[in-house]
Chains A and B, each alone.
Chain A
Amino acid sequence: MINRAYEEEHARAEALFQHIGTGAIATDELGRIYRVNDAALDMLEYKRKEMLGEWFPRVVIEVDQTGNITNQLERPIARAFVSGKPISENTYYRTKTGKIIPVSLTISPILLNGRPIGAVEVFQDITVEFEVDRMKTEFISIASHQLRTPLSAINTYANMLNSGFYGELNKEQKTHMGTIIQAIERMNGLISTLLDVSQLEAGKISVKPQKLEVCGLIRSLIQDHQQTGGNRNIQIKVICPHVPVIVTCDRLLLGEIYSNLLSNALKYSRENGVVEVKLKNLKNEIVFSVKDNGYGIPKKMQRYIFKKFYRADNIKRIDTTGTGLGLYLVKQIADVLGGKVWFESVDKKGSTFYFSLPKDPQTL
């Protein structure tokens, strides 16, 4: 009776595994593949007998976009065993014939009484999605370039009109010109962000490392952002080491990260709030943090916060002008610079965003 029940359960699991519609591979606790479905075999171009019993890292080869093999400790399967939790991400696999395919995967450790007895991975080829995304990025890049030229002309003439170059404006005209100029600035900012995103995604961003003093950079950015909080009386508190903190980094890119985090904290702080900007000088890295007592990010939305065009629901209701590109840009630049970005947030209480950067890029 028990055997029959076991056999039925096994048959159901096998059918589910084989016909799940995405590639699926199961390994034992020593990384040996003991089950693989047809979709996985098709994508990786292996025959079943070539995969069964094989060591997972030998046949499921993870590479970067250019074909370099990923460090085994950084692979999702290793990170799943380190964290004990499922890992989902997009990466690249090299097939048996050497073809590089982008995949979206989820890998999870299989546990028995809290101890690992293997792992199961499901994955799918996302070549088409990648191509669509690339075309979309290319379109945004071209459209942004095309928009910038006429916008420069509008900006120039609007400012000339506003400054009285073509004759004095009355009070009402001045008010309307102010609105026009603000809208131009917002559109300019949006175009710059879109261009930054498309350059980063196309791998065209160039990093120009130079020695720079970070506290000075932070103070000058704070000065630039004095108006971001509007008339909500937001106080900015700065905690920086008393000695100069020198790092080797691209000034513009680092400034872009700090600026985005600072601007978000100011935008999403409540009236009479305090934004605390802190720089910690550690042995091998510096950690920049921005803490606000604003709206916070609801827990269920936190995992999506660095995704492109994503905006948490509570913020969409408060501010309708955001693009959802700021934090995506921060994450992309952080990756380019070899830094790490993360946050802590409590819904309705506020968030703290952190960005750590190695002092010397060679220590990466």
Chain B
Amino acid sequence: MRFQGTLQNKKELRMSQDSSVYTKLVAITEDYLGSSAQKLVDLQITNHLHKKPEKVNQNDLYCLNDWLIAVLALLTDDRKKLSEYSRRLSRLIVITEPENNPK
């Protein structure tokens, strides 16, 4: 499934321009976990990466995303929702690459 032209895509593109990896992570997770999202993201970063939440960077997402998906997988059995969340998180890794990257 492609995101181009969807509301989600616009939201993520906007986020990529004006916010940090952390903010984007929380915003995406909020769509699935509601108000618990920030607390969960904070705990996952602190526990698994041993750093302050706002210090999370793009490289961290490779490991962190698996932990976030594992928790959502215990809250919903909706495979579609899970793969959508997983896809949005993976997309975040690409979107947040530095702008001066020649790619």
Contacts and interface: CB of A to CB of B under 8 A. Distances in A.
Interface residues of B, number: 17
Interface stretch (B4-12, B15-23, B51-59, B62-70): B62-70
Q: Give the one of A56, A77, A78 with max B CB within 10 A.
A: A78
B74 A83 contact: no
B47 A31 contact: no
A73 B75 contact: yes
A29 B69 contact: yes
Contacts of B82: 30
Contacts of A75: 74
Interface string A56-84: 11100000000000001101011001111
A81 B66 CA distance: 10
Nearest to B75: A72
Contacts of A78: 71, 74-75
B66 A116 contact: yes
Contact of B77 (A29, A55, A81, A116): A55
B44 A82 contact: yes
B75 A116 contact: no
A109 B43 CA distance: 16
B28 to A, nearest CB: 18
B27 to A, nearest CB: 19
Nearest to B77: A55
Contact of B74 (A72, A85, A114, A115): A72
A77 B71 CA distance: 9
A82 B47 contact: yes
Nearest to B64: A115
B36 A29 contact: no
B14 interface: no
A285 to B, nearest CB: 15
Interface string A117-140: 000000000000000000000000
Chain A residues touching B, range: 20 to 34
B35 to A, nearest CB: 11
Contacts of B70: 29-31, 81, 109, 116
Contacts, number: 53
B66 A58 contact: no
A172 B24 CA distance: 78
A85 B74 CA distance: 16
A82 B49 CA distance: 12
A29 B74 contact: no
Contacts of B40: 73, 82
Contacts of A82: 40, 43-44, 47, 67, 71
B87 interface: no
A29 B73 contact: yes
Contact of A77 (B36, B48, B74, B77): B74
A72 B70 CA distance: 13
A57 B77 CA distance: 9
Interface in A86-135: 109, 114-116
Contacts of A116: 66-67, 70
Nearest to A119: B70
Interface in B57-103: 63, 66-67, 69-71, 73-75, 77, 82
Interface of B: 36, 40, 43-44, 47-48, 63, 66-67, 69-71, 73-75, 77, 82
Interface of A: 29-31, 55-58, 72-73, 75, 77-78, 81-85, 109, 114-116
28 contacts: A29-B69, A29-B73, A30-B70, A30-B73, A31-B70, A31-B73, A31-B74, A55-B77, A57-B77, A58-B77, A72-B74, A73-B71, A75-B74, A78-B74, A78-B75, A81-B67, A81-B71, A82-B40, A82-B44, A82-B47, A83-B47, A84-B48, A84-B67, A109-B70, A114-B63, A115-B63, A115-B67, A116-B67
Given A58-B77, A109-B70, A114-B63, 4 more contacts: A78-B75, A81-B70, A81-B71, A85-B47
